[in-house]
Amino acid sequence: MSLTLRPMTEDDWSDWITVDEEAFGAPIPPHRADRFKDNTEFERSLGAYDGDLLVGATAVCSFTMTVPGGPIPVGGVTAVGVLPSHRRRGVLTALMTRQLADLHERGEAVAALYASEAAIYGRFGYGRAADSMVFDISTAGGAFLPHAPADPSLRLRIVRPADAREVFEKVFDAALGSRPGLYARTPARWDGVLSDHETDQGGAGPLRAVVAEDDGGPRGYALFRIKPDWGDNGAPDGELRLKEVFGLDPAAYALLWRHLLDRDLVSRVKAWNRPADDPLIHLLADARQLNALWLDDLWVRVVDVERALPARRYSAPVDVVIEVEDPVCPWNARRWRLSADVSGARCAPVEDAPDLTLPVSVLGAAYLGGRPLAALQAAGVVREARAGAVRELSAAMAWDPAPCAGLIF
């Protein structure tokens, strides 16, 4: 095999779709292919060619993503796939290595992705940085605690999603800085969120929406579908499938969840992509009614240690020398002194003895503030040379709330 790497163009589009369909084992409906194309920056794509045959592909979305302390540019890696006929021949390694070099040259210090297979991306320095939960809640046990927040000035309004897009965008933009991992949405990304094609419905009917508002304007919204059903005894057994919910304050968030749990003819609420510290966990009177499945959300790669570490804020003062192991990006593989306080952070290469040593994937896992380094030390992947150094860095990198993007790209 003679492998050539180059950015793809629109002339390669049908071949790219073929690679994706073969790699992921499922057809891509035409409307989803069009949506994918609308979100594609062809100049940031990368194709692997065996002669004239496209055998592997990947792309990067240019994002502004919230990290601890504020927004930074992040490369959103997506659509990574290799033809099954060309697996185990170095195609993926060539694509991922070249992509990281391109990100570094472009000046993006951090990359993020959603992993189709969780075992793949650690090899290229990505670490599991954010978690998400799948909730399965019985509405019969959905009562709230007596002290659940409430605001009599709030009211609910049922809206058609297609008619309320500006409301959703306003609320989301206001919430964007509230949680690490959230990223700004382009118009094409919003088109995907609100798409209501039959293949998007999954048998659960049209997209529905409710807005929480007061006289000053919207304070939250929820997007969902309802799959009606009836038990053998004729009792209603519908399932509400939550797409997303955002509340700008505790009272608005609680009111939206109250509406979701109180919908008539619904016996269960299923919610995907919920953050690991979702406030709903602390609102239910009977927490056992919230059955939760723990999954990975964002995977993060520190592309440039020297620029990435000062780009975020820290929860406590820190002054440590970190030895970073990075066989894929050699510019990172050295010792770095990280110093941070309330005025900001500094990171510079040094020759001093390290206080701790870690793989770059661990640095990525901790970058958004949701992965304690002490737990990774207990797992043996962080090695401490100076007593207390891991605890110091772990406390500094920790952040509330927990990171979660909640929307696959």
pLDDT of 371 higher than 80: yes
- How many helices (H) and strands (E) are present in the chain, helices listed first? 11, 19
Rounded percentage of the chain residues whose pLDDT exceeds 90: 98
For the stretch 252-311, pLDDT in tens is: 999 999 999 999 999 999 999 999 999 999 999 999 999 999 999 999 999 999 999 999
For the stretch 196-233, pLDDT in tens is: 999 999 999 999 999 999 999 999 999 999 999 998 89
For the stretch 315-341, pLDDT in tens is: 999 999 999 999 999 999 999 999 999
pLDDT-based confidence at residue 132 (cuts at 50, 70, 90): very high
Assign residue 289 a region: left if phi > 0, alpha if psi is -120 to 50, beta otherwise?
alpha
How many whole angstroms separate alpha carbon 68 and alpha carbon 66? 7
- Report DSSP state, residue 382: S
Q: Give the per-residue pLDDT at 99.
A: 98
pLDDT of 1 higher than 80: no
Rounded percentage of the chain residues whose pLDDT exceeds 70: 100
pLDDT-based confidence at residue 351 (cuts at 50, 70, 90): very high
SS3 44: helix
Backbone angles phi, psi at 145, to 5 degrees: -65, 155
For the stretch 153-169, pLDDT in tens is: 999 999 999 999 999 99
Q: Residue 106: what residue type?
A: R
Q: Read off the pTM.
A: 0.96
Q: What H or E segment, with its residue span, contains residue 101?
A: helix 91-106
